[in-house]
A = this chain, B = another copy of it.
Amino acid sequence: MVGAMSATQLGPLPSVNRQFKLAARPVGLPKESDFSLADSPMPAPADGQALVKTAYLSVDPYMRGRITGIRTYADPVNIGDVMQGGTVGQVVASKAPGFATGDFVTGFWGWQEFAAADAKTLTKLDPKLAPVSTALGVLGMPGMTAYFGFLEICKPQPGETVLVSGGAGAVGSLVGQIAKTKGCRAVGIAGTDDKVEWMTKELGFDAAFNYKSTSDYTAKLKELCPKGIDCYFDNVGGAITDAVFPLMNVYGRISICGQISQYNLDKPEPGPRLLSLVLVKQLKVEGFIVFRWQNRYAEGIQQMAAWLGEGKLKYREEIVNGFDNTVKAFIGMLQGDNTGKMLVKI
């Protein structure tokens, strides 16, 4: 009954499905012309599939790596492929047991308005528990990235200093707040004064600074981290990270979540060698892809939802309206336009 009612609300289906496909391998910062908007026939769900209508789609830093053509931990997006990405939507037709028309689901069907998705790639969402968009943010991949990538690798202890680069992003903003729940001093780095104010005034970071208006990262970091840095959660890399390593405390832990400063370089840039510091300070530096903890997401979601309920976690969504604006949103996110999680609402 609910399914039938929702189907009515969803309205008639269009005859075509609009998709963003990769048109060219970006050189440097992606351009709009690196993607093409194409019409394809409306898909029909096969047995075991649901036809889903996209409500929100996610633009995330990791996507820059997927379009380089280099296989890393995942298959790359090839020229002509629909762009990959996390999505939230509603079932509009179902040949999959357990999925009914009107159900909200999250999956990974990419930058398109509709998709026939295998049931096993979909997770049902309860819109009464949390806004469904959070499945792409605080209760989704970015939230799990912050939760596991910080706690499992940094193992923060009360009283320690935790530094987060990209501190106002979808992941970094959560890491700083999780650090506070663990009794740490949380210090954030971001690229606008508004982001700095958001971190310190709303999210409870103890300190933060705008790297774009700071000429001497070392001096600023020493000022804001007077006891040194025990945990560094790095989304950014490059010159900021170069300044952090010498200020790490002995036995410091560095979680490498992203290196967004490096993603759009035409060719790799050299930097100071850091391994002598890793040696004398006995640092542990570990990179991760969040999927390694996929079998523990239930635990992460439960804890993050509990902290949300207790008011210990706040999040912000930077919502761009309109499927047509997806590529703009992606490029803007790579340049730091977003505070919190960048989403496209269809």
Contacts and interface: CB of A to CB of B under 8 A. Distances in A.
Query: How many copies make up the complex?
Result: 2
A262 B273 contact: yes
Contacts of A258: 279
Interface string A144-182: 000000000000000000000000000000000000000
A277 to B, nearest CB: 8
A276 interface: yes
Nearest to A253: B286
Interface in A257-282: 257-259, 262, 268-282
A200 interface: no
B72 A280 contact: yes
A169 to B, nearest CB: 15
A50 interface: no
Interface size class of A (residues with CB under 8 A): 35 or more
A287 interface: yes
Nearest to A262: B276
B288 A276 contact: no
Contacts of A18: none
B272 A268 contact: yes
A275 B250 contact: no
A284 interface: yes
A286 B284 contact: yes
A268 B272 CA distance: 7
Interface of A: 65, 72-73, 234, 237-238, 241, 250, 256-259, 262, 268-289, 292
19 contacts: A72-B281, A73-B250, A237-B273, A237-B275, A268-B272, A268-B273, A270-B270, A270-B273, A274-B274, A274-B275, A275-B285, A275-B287, A278-B286, A280-B287, A281-B287, A282-B286, A282-B289, A282-B292, A283-B286
